[in-house]
Amino acid sequence: MSTLIHPTAVIHPKAELDSTVRVGPYAVIGEKVKIAADTEIGAHVVIDGNTEIGIGNQIFPSAAIGLPPQDLKYKGGDSRVRIGDYNQIREFVTINRATEAGNVTQIGSHNLLMAYVHVAHDCMIEDGIVIANGVALAGHIHIESKAFIGGILGVHQFVHIGRMAMLGGMSRIDRDVPPFMLVEGNPSRVRSLNLVGLKRAGLSDDEMNILKKAFRLLYRSDYTMSEAIEQLSLLPDHESIQHLRQFLHLSMTGDKRRGTIPGK
């Protein structure tokens, strides 16, 4: 194991590292950290707090994971960070632990977080997501699987970003982003379906056509959003339509009621 850990790295004796973990120069790993097999920790990385990292992750130089949240409500409780498998966490990414004791900031698996991404406390990042350079995620953000977040943009706290959505670079995201949509601008607007992302995900022609009908009902008709959501129930009952309806309903009626990015 000593051949995989650079002699300048500082690792707390109670930290739990699999024997295949590689640790670069001047990395610092704290007492409650657990790291699973085949994960690589780059130079000058800091990992602290109650942090658990899965299999096959690549964490590039100067990332900082599991440090206290930038939240004035934080009182020092034993909150957590959980990271899944096969993620790429690039240079200078920061991932803060949750605010309340027992709560978690969670990153799923097979994600790419490019350089200088900030993931604040209590965020939930699912699987297969790309977050480009310089993105700032405020607290309590939920990003569903296979979303693409363009570079140099900010996302407001508590925002929910739907599955396979695409956010254009330098946009301002202050409300929920529905699944399957392409959002861009400041102020942001739903511009179209994320056609490229949907094709890459392997959606059938039939499902694509139904989503196109849903888009026209939601953003190119004279219906109010509530009326358009009701009209979605008349479309063929594909899983993607079910998910879209549930997302929109929750955005309008849930605890936060932020509403969604408009189309006009």
Structural contact between residues 104 and 123, judged by C-beta atoms closer than 8 angstroms: no
Q: Among the options 24, 54, 84, 122, which is catalytic?
A: 122
Helix/strand/coil for 245? helix
Nearest one of 80, 73, 59 to 157, comparing CA atoms: 73
Write phi, then psi, for 167 (nearest 5 degrees): -110, 120
Structure tokens at 191: 């511009």
Two tokens at 151? 């570079």
Q: Is 168 a catalytic residue?
A: no
174 assigned to active site: no
Q: Is 122 a catalytic residue?
A: yes
Q: Which of 88, 84, 157, 92 is nearest to 126 (CA)?
A: 84
Q: CA 173 → CA 125, 161, 235, 257, distances in Å?
A: 16, 9, 29, 15
Q: Which two tokens stand for residue 185?
A: 């601008």
CA 9 – CA 45 distance, rounded (Å): 9
Instruction: Please identify which of the residues 49, 108, 118, 121 carries the catalytic annotation.
Output: 121
Rounded to whole angstroms, the Cα distance separating 73 from 71 reads 5
> What value does the CA radius of gyration of the chain take, rounded to a whole number of Å?
20
Q: Give me the active site residues, please.
A: 121-122, 139
